[in-house]
């Protein structure tokens, strides 16, 4: 996720979820690029905690003016969502959750 100032509220919200561990990493731009990329990594002990975390994402995605990329990984399965101005981020995240096998 990019734009460091915009990631702070999501980091704080995810950090408040009981039993969730959130780490934050910033990296500089690649050669010929501008800007900073900031990545949040969320580790959860169960599908229930993951569900709580996923429910925090739609408001964050809706508030973004630039594009956002969210990757959800469980075991050896991973789903990445990339978009800008998503009309219904909740629906996108529900589909992602199903793809990870959380029917």
Task: Please state, in angstroms and rounded to a whole number, the distance separating the CA atoms of residues 43 and 9.
Answer: 18
Measured in whole angstroms, the distance separating CA 27 from the mean position of its chain's CA atoms is: 17
Please report, for the chain, the start and end positions of each structural domain, with discontinuous segments joined by +. 4-99
Give the per-residue pLDDT at 64: 66
Q: Could you read off the pLDDT of 3-49 as tens digits, one per residue?
A: 444 788 889 989 999 999 999 988 877 788 777 778 888 898 988 88
For helices 89-99 and 47-55, what crossing angle results, to 10°? 160
Q: pTM for this one?
A: 0.60
């Amino acid at each position: 996720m990019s734009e460091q100032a915009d990631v702070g509220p999501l980091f704080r919200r995810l950090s408040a979820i009981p039993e969730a561990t959130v780490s934050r990493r910033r990296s500089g731009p690649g050669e010929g690029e501008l800007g900073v990329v900031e990545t949040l990594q969320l580790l959860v002990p169960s599908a229930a905690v993951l569900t709580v975390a996923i429910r925090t994402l739609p408001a964050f995605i809706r508030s973004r003016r630039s594009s956002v990329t969210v990757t959800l990984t469980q075991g050896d399965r991973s789903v990445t969502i990339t978009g800008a101005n998503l009309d219904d981020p909740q629906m996108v995240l529900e589909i992602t959750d199903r793809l990870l096998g959380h029917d």
